[in-house]
Amino acid sequence: MEIKKSANVGEWLDQRLGTTMLAKVLMTEYWIPKNINFLWAFGVVLMTLFALLVISGMFLLMYYKPDTALAFNSVNYTIMQEVAYGWLFRHIHAVAASVVFLVIYIHMLTGIYYGSYKSGREMIWISGMLLFVTFSAEGFSGYMLPWGQMSYWAAQVITNLFGAIPFIGPDLVIWIRGDYVVSDATLTRFFALHVFILPLIIMGIIGLHFYSLRIPHVNNQEGEEVDFEAEARKYKAGEKKKAKVIPFWPVFLSKDIFVLSVFLVFFFYLVFFHYGFAMDPINFIPADSMKTPPHIYPEWYFLWSYEVLRGFFFSADLGLIAFGIANVIFFLMPWLDRDPAVKPAAKRPYFFIWFWVLIVDLIGLTIWGKLPPTGVNAYIGFVFSILFLALFIILPMISKAERNGGAK
């Protein structure tokens, strides 16, 4: 069949495919602010990590046994010692599962710093927070699968939390576990969640998150002030240095690829030389329902909210309420921040202080969440928990003050 020569790829696609979505995407020009920094490449890094988790998880799935009598040995003996390169796929999966939360937190805090949740961007923010919640559920369900001591007892503690929900709590715990206690039925249910149900939900939300980026322009320091069409004309006219925008392909995407390449060097360094940070030593002991570990704690990426839960050591009910608030409060950022101006925190004096106090508090909660809640540690954890809640109570007030001209 003879193919007619076209002036460009877009024209050829239009002849061959008509006005299909592929043709529209390839023929559409997207322009990005020139001074956007490397922190905005972390979305691509997250997508890459998710792909690594899926691929490595598929290989692990070939040898894993979702049975309480076989799960521990299938991971620690079959995969780690008998299967060729099984250790590599487990290290990749474990390190990616841990590092993905580091990247999520950086990406989330970047969005807070630049005000990426402001009016017009609510769907971007909410879809991103839904991704955080589903990744958290995916991380917790995966933490159970090796069926070590910490896997078992973490499942015991977390599922018990649902028992505090009024009226339906006790029945809900039994439904989640599939039994009156954490058992083989529980492992099977969390296995199904981890390998099938949650990955499908995550892929759907990733699609929603990327699509919602089309609503406003990508915002950064100058994103609200740039006339994209005028600056694009400058760029096309050869005034590339004067133009404030760059084309998404190939210029901006090449920056993403560079950041991703540097990250992958760091990632595989951890995989080969420091993979132990992603694996709790206690979890190399087989699960034993008759022997409780002296100190039960979740993975590092849940420690901050776990410390909010146990920070109210004098009242389990208050701790549970605080824990619930801590896990939904970030969803409300678009409405708690009363200043409609989309500016980085560096240009908002009150918010700048608030932002860095939040980071220090989250680090403090994470550190104390790993320590035994005894003696002075319990009181320090309580202070950090109160501070966390107080920050979100005062956010509407300080942002309103900035909106009204209280800070120049």
Q: Is pLDDT at 199 greater than 60 in this prediction?
A: yes
Q: Is pLDDT at 224 greater than 60 in this prediction?
A: no
Higher-confidence residue of 178 and 11: namely 178
Q: Is pLDDT at 16 greater than 60 in this prediction?
A: no
Q: Do residue 122 and residue 266 come from a single domain?
A: yes
In whole angstroms, give the CA distance from residue 92 to residue 89: 5
Q: Do residue 21 and residue 65 come from a single domain?
A: no
Specify the pLDDT at position 272: 94
Please indicate, yes or no, whether the overall pTM of this predicted structure exceeds 0.95.
Answer: no
Mapping DSSP onto H, E and C, the string for the chain reads CCCCCCCCHHHHHHHHHCCCHHHHHHHCCCEEECCCCHHHHHHHHHHHHHHHHHHHHHHHHCCCCCCCCCHHHHHHHHHHHHCCCHHHHHHHHHHHHHHHHHHHHHHHHHHHHHCCCCCCCHHHHHHHHHHHHHHHHHHHHHHHCCCEHHHHHHHHHHHHHHHHCCCCHHHHHHHHHCCCCCCHHHHHHHHHHHHHHHHHHHHHHHHHHHHHCCCCCCCCCCCCCCCHHHHHHHHHCCCCCCCCEEEHHHHHHHHHHHHHHHHHHHHHHHHHHCHHHHCCHHHHCECCCCCCCCCCCCCHHHHHHHHHHHHCCCCHHHHHHHHHHHHHHHHHHHHHCCCCCCCCHHHCHHHHHHHHHHHHHHHHHHHHHHCCCCCHHHHHHHHHHHHHHHHHHHHHHHHHHHHCCCCC
Q: Do residue 152 and residue 124 come from a single domain?
A: yes
In whole angstroms, give the CA distance from residue 56 to residue 62: 10
Domain boundary among 276, 296, 316: 296
Q: Do residue 64 and residue 186 come from a single domain?
A: yes
Q: Which CATH number covers residue 213?
A: 1.20.810.10
Average pLDDT over residues 326-354: 91
Q: Do residue 254 and residue 180 come from a single domain?
A: yes
Q: Do residue 349 and residue 401 come from a single domain?
A: yes
Specify the pLDDT at position 281: 86
Instruction: Answer yes or no: is 229 within a domain.
Output: yes
The pair of three-digit structure tokens given for residue 225, joined into one six-digit string: 């002030």
Distances, alpha carbon 14 to alpha carbons 5, 28, 248, in Å: 12, 12, 21
Average pLDDT over residues 389-408: 84
Specify the pLDDT at position 161: 86
Q: Do residue 97 and residue 234 come from a single domain?
A: yes
Instruction: Answer yes or no: is 301 within a domain.
Output: no
Instruction: Answer yes or no: is 167 within a domain.
Output: yes
Average model confidence (pLDDT) across the chain = 84
> How many domains are there within the chain?
3
Q: Is pLDDT at 110 greater than 80 in this prediction?
A: yes
Q: Do residue 283 and residue 321 come from a single domain?
A: no
Instruction: Answer yes or no: is 111 within a domain.
Output: no
Q: Is pLDDT at 305 greater than 90 in this prediction?
A: yes
**Least reliable range by pLDDT among 58-62, 67-71, 145-149, 400-404:** 400-404
**pLDDT (tens digit per residue) in 251-293:** 777 788 888 999 999 999 999 998 888 888 888 999 998 888 8
Instruction: Tell me what percent of the residues of the chain surpass a pLDDT of 90.
Output: 54
pLDDT class of 22 with cuts at 50, 70, 90: very low
Q: Do residue 385 and residue 286 come from a single domain?
A: no
Higher-confidence residue of 131 and 248: namely 131
Q: Do residue 26 and residue 52 come from a single domain?
A: no
pLDDT class of 331 with cuts at 50, 70, 90: very high
Instruction: Answer yes or no: is 302 within a domain.
Output: no
Q: Do residue 162 and residue 281 come from a single domain?
A: yes
**pLDDT (tens digit per residue) in 151-177:** 999 899 889 988 888 888 899 999 999
Q: Do residue 209 and residue 88 come from a single domain?
A: yes
**Least reliable range by pLDDT among 42-51, 107-116, 117-126, 214-223:** 214-223
Specify the pLDDT at position 256: 83
Instruction: Answer yes or no: is 112 within a domain.
Output: no
In which domain, by residue range, is 16 found? 1-30
pLDDT class of 39 with cuts at 50, 70, 90: confident
